Chains A and B, each alone.
Chain A
Amino acid sequence: MTNLVWLTVALPLAGFLVNGTLALRRPQAKSLVSAVGVGVLLAAFAVALGIFVELWRNPPHAPIIVTLWSWLPVERLQVDLAFQVDQLSTVMLLVVTGVGSLIHLFSVGYMGEDPGYARYFAYLNLFIAFMLLLVLGSSFPVMFIGWEGVGLCSYLLIGFWFSEKANADAGLKAFIMNRIGDFGFLMAMFFIWRAFGNLNLVDVTSRAPQVLQPGGAIVTAITLFLFLGCTGKSAQIPLYTWLPDAMAGPTPVSALIHAATMVTAGVYLVARTNVLFAMAPVSSSVVAGIGALTALFAATIGLRQYDIKRVLAYSTVSQLGYMFLGVGTGAYVSGIFHLVTHAFFKALLFLGSGSVIYAMHHAYHATHSHEDAQDMRNMGGLKQYLPATFWLMLIATLAISGIPPFSGFFSKDEILAAAFARGREQPLYYAYYAMGILAALLTAFYMARLIAMTFLGSNRTGEKERAHLHEAPAVMTGPLVVLGVLSLAGGVLNLPAFVGGGAALERWLDPVVSPAERFFKLEMPHGQAELFLVGAAVAIGLLGLLAGFRSTLARPIPPARQAGADTGLARLLYRKYYVDELYDALIVRPIVWLSRIVLWKGVDQGVVDGAAVNGSARLSQGLGWLGSRLQTGQVGVYVVLFLVGALWVLSAVVR
């Protein structure tokens, strides 16, 4: 089954081609589109399961490479289109195809009435194909194809409803910021090529200790550039501003791309090249630091957002920060673990919010109202109208807040414990731990605020709309239930010792991360310290939840159309610390000025058009005019010229 791994990429790609053709020719063939779109993904998931079972029976010590063909045979550079099947890629494979299938299924209901239905599924399938190429790629260039491809699909899907300029702008913003990160990835590839002579992952990770100097400049440069790529793709500081704007796309897209899969590509990359990061403690510290800072920073912004998807977007940025904190600390398994559990509960949260938005949208549509269906101030008390959604989102909220026995508790706790443990050797990590704990508090707070504003309290939607609020159809709630179960029980993947678990994921991923552990072995806390940390995390989570519920439900909330503007600190948070405006002033405007005034008016119109093109024409004209002055038609002048010429010839003899 392992050598059929290419099917996982080929099937969604075929789905893209079929759905794309249908989108161009017969967009109204919705059932065929659904069948193809969801079907290919379920088939890919089946293949992924098969591969997993096969690896479970015979765990390989080295990655299995399945080569399709030779792609770039250029003298010394030999890049094949090949897939790398090992424990880590299998985990990612399962997550992408599994959660992807659920979201595809959800989309059948959510996007059912959209005229661009076929186009949507075409793009979604294409995205899955690229994402799998990314996680299965056996060399950096193949991974880069996937890296770029998911960026492209992200752009296509964010700007799906492109007739609204704001949506198209959001797509463009995402793509451009991703590109800045891609520059980092490319630079890292150049450095790696120079140092190693080839770009295969297996080769690089196995030979890294011999080729590079631990703690040296080159390995630090490589890892920092790789991390630059990660900040772009995974929305960390400073390249995170595209993710909240990306909420302009359809909600299932936000769930799939901007929660579960694409944004986790950065974490996967760090985990994949763990040897390099372990050899560069400076870079690891940078990764962990930025992760912790982003986690805290984004959490503060999420406190004061009113759009339900925005809150979840900042929550995603924050949780990605946690993942980077994990892999930066050296706890690669914990980072991946949090990636998996986050995929479950974040997808659930997004899809649940999609369910809510679906209901609100229908209600407003029925009464021809123009209110914002996504503004939480217009919601409230939806528990009685959408009970299933409520309970499932509550599960996800508890998971994200780190309450046992939900999955999020185990993964988040591990990361925080790792940060604390590393602090013993590098005290800076204590600061990271503190930021992480604070972020956990805020996470619980804003999630509770979200639940309270949306589902609890009294309904603010409006008298007439209330009659139209109802639960989403089964095709949408079914995936929610599955994700709910996973969010609840996902912790079993890596149960720590103190609850009697066998740390299954840790053992599973051990061959992948063991090269890194030769450079730095993380001493996780045991016994008393461990229990203390666990207790602290749980306490913080509960505290945040309670505080959030209480403070949100304490006062009545005015609906959006009646709400006044925020002031002071609330306003700062609501306006995201004005970071977008800052980027605009510092970077965007100077570049636009440079392009328009200097390069366009100055260089292109002035120099190229004016001097070079028109100038040379004028020069010929001038020379021609000079020449024409000789043709006076007066014989006397001709005689003079004749004599001058004769003198000149004579002078050749007189030397």
Chain B
Amino acid sequence: MTNAVFWFFAVLAVASAALCIVQRNPVSAALWLVSTMFSLAAIYVLLNAQFIAAIQVLVYAGAVMVLFLFVIMLLNLGHASSDIRGPSAIAATLVIVGLLLVELVGLWRYSPGRVAAEVAQAPGLRDPAAAFAAGMIARQDAVTHGVVGGIAAPLFQIYLVPFEITSILLLAAIIGAVVLAKRKV
């Protein structure tokens, strides 16, 4: 059952992404991207990251993409003529993306599934994830403290400094955005 849902949303995500990158109209592209994000949120749920799924919808699809749409509307771009770059760019794209896929496939060797399958000599492990202790602990945490608590605890304990720095980063971004977008400095 989980697999079927996953495949459905996976196909949806890939299709939306593909359509996003070829749409001429920027608004259409933005909307297709929103669709991709929703699919991803669903997949996150399937992967036991419910909080992240919620955040994805709220922040990404909700705030960031709306911002994109605002700017598109503001600039009043309308229909551009063919927005895709010339044949040389297409050739370069094919080459680069091809190489990228090759390399990413090459990274498959490090897939923990295989590593775990090799390392864990223990027979009859139905879920290879059981070989990884940290993951089990996280799952336990999620059960005891709740989904949000499972993330909040490390965030405010181990990763406190990056958290604080990120808040400063956000402040800088706000100021920067305001300054850059002003009509007259």
Pick the residue among A636, A640, A644, A654 that contacts B103 (CB under 8 A).
A654
Considering only residues 78-136 of chain B, those with a C-beta below 8 Å from chain A are 85, 89, 92, 96, 99-100, 103, 106-107
B85 and A636 contacting across the interface, CB-CB below 8 Å: yes
A654 and B96 contacting across the interface, CB-CB below 8 Å: no
A644 and B96 contacting across the interface, CB-CB below 8 Å: yes
Contacting residues, chain B, for A653 (C-beta < 8 A): 107
A636 and B89 contacting across the interface, CB-CB below 8 Å: yes
Contacting residues, chain B, for A640 (C-beta < 8 A): 92, 96
Given A640-B96, A644-B96: A651 and B85 interface contact (C-beta under 8 Å): no
At the interface, yes or no: A647 with Cβ under 8 Å from chain B? yes
Q: When each residue 611-655 of chain A gets 1 if its CB lies under 8 Å from chain B and 0 otherwise, what string results?
A: 000000000000000000000000010001001100100110110
A643–B103 Cα gap in the complex (Å)?
13
A640–B99 Cα gap in the complex (Å)?
13
A653–B85 Cα gap in the complex (Å)?
31
Considering only residues 47-99 of chain B, those with a C-beta below 8 Å from chain A are 85, 89, 92, 96, 99
Considering only residues 44-89 of chain A, those with a C-beta below 8 Å from chain B are none
B96 and A647 contacting across the interface, CB-CB below 8 Å: yes
A647–B97 Cα gap in the complex (Å)?
10
A644–B97 Cα gap in the complex (Å)?
10
Contacting residues, chain B, for A651 (C-beta < 8 A): 103
A582–B99 Cα gap in the complex (Å)?
76
Majority secondary structure, A binding face: helix
Contacting residues, chain A, for B100 (C-beta < 8 A): 647, 650
Chain B residue at smallest Cβ distance from A653: B107
B99 and A647 contacting across the interface, CB-CB below 8 Å: yes
Contacting residues, chain A, for B85 (C-beta < 8 A): 636
Contacting residues, chain B, for A647 (C-beta < 8 A): 96, 99-100, 103
Pick the residue among B89, B96, B106 that contacts A643 (CB under 8 A).
B96
Contacting residues, chain A, for B103 (C-beta < 8 A): 647, 650-651, 654
A651–B107 Cα gap in the complex (Å)?
10
Contacting residues, chain B, for A654 (C-beta < 8 A): 103, 106-107
Chain A residue at smallest Cβ distance from B96: A643
A653–B106 Cα gap in the complex (Å)?
9
**Shortest Cβ distance from residue A17 to the other chain B in the assembled complex, whole angstroms:** 83
A296–B76 Cα gap in the complex (Å)?
114
**Shortest Cβ distance from residue A44 to the other chain B in the assembled complex, whole angstroms:** 93
**Shortest Cβ distance from residue B111 to the other chain A in the assembled complex, whole angstroms:** 13
A188–B107 Cα gap in the complex (Å)?
76
A360–B113 Cα gap in the complex (Å)?
120
A644–B96 Cα gap in the complex (Å)?
7
A650–B96 Cα gap in the complex (Å)?
12
A653–B103 Cα gap in the complex (Å)?
9
A319–B85 Cα gap in the complex (Å)?
98
A643–B85 Cα gap in the complex (Å)?
16
**Shortest Cβ distance from residue A363 to the other chain B in the assembled complex, whole angstroms:** 98
**Shortest Cβ distance from residue A593 to the other chain B in the assembled complex, whole angstroms:** 56
Contacting residues, chain A, for B89 (C-beta < 8 A): 636
**Shortest Cβ distance from residue A652 to the other chain B in the assembled complex, whole angstroms:** 10
**Shortest Cβ distance from residue B80 to the other chain A in the assembled complex, whole angstroms:** 15
Chain A residue at smallest Cβ distance from B100: A647
Contacting residues, chain A, for B96 (C-beta < 8 A): 640, 643-644, 647
**Shortest Cβ distance from residue B87 to the other chain A in the assembled complex, whole angstroms:** 14
Chain B residue at smallest Cβ distance from A655: B106
Most B Cβ at <10 Å: residue of A636, A640, A654: A654
Q: When each residue 11-46 of chain B gets 1 if its CB lies under 8 Å from chain A and 0 otherwise, what string results?
A: 000000000000000000000000000000000000
Contacting residues, chain B, for A643 (C-beta < 8 A): 96
A650–B106 Cα gap in the complex (Å)?
10
A12–B92 Cα gap in the complex (Å)?
89
Chain A residue at smallest Cβ distance from B106: A654
Contacting residues, chain A, for B92 (C-beta < 8 A): 640
A651–B101 Cα gap in the complex (Å)?
11
Chain B residue at smallest Cβ distance from A651: B103
A640–B91 Cα gap in the complex (Å)?
12
Chain A residue at smallest Cβ distance from B97: A643
A69–B85 Cα gap in the complex (Å)?
89
Chain B residue at smallest Cβ distance from A643: B96
**Shortest Cβ distance from residue A630 to the other chain B in the assembled complex, whole angstroms:** 15
A644–B103 Cα gap in the complex (Å)?
12
**Shortest Cβ distance from residue A104 to the other chain B in the assembled complex, whole angstroms:** 93
A640–B85 Cα gap in the complex (Å)?
12
Chain B residue at smallest Cβ distance from A654: B106
Contacting residues, chain A, for B107 (C-beta < 8 A): 653-654
B residues adjacent to A (C-beta < 8 A)? 85, 89, 92, 96, 99-100, 103, 106-107
List of 8 A-B pairs having minimum Cβ-Cβ separation, nearest first:
A654-B106, A654-B103, A650-B103, A647-B99, A643-B96, A654-B107, A651-B103, A640-B92
A residues adjacent to B (C-beta < 8 A)? 636, 640, 643-644, 647, 650-651, 653-654
Q: Apart from A647-B103, A654-B103, A654-B106, what 14 extra A-B contacts exist at CB < 8 Å? A: A636-B85, A636-B89, A640-B92, A640-B96, A643-B96, A644-B96, A647-B96, A647-B99, A647-B100, A650-B100, A650-B103, A651-B103, A653-B107, A654-B107
> Could you list some 17 contacts between A and B, CB below 8 A?
A636-B85, A636-B89, A640-B92, A640-B96, A643-B96, A644-B96, A647-B96, A647-B99, A647-B100, A647-B103, A650-B100, A650-B103, A651-B103, A653-B107, A654-B103, A654-B106, A654-B107
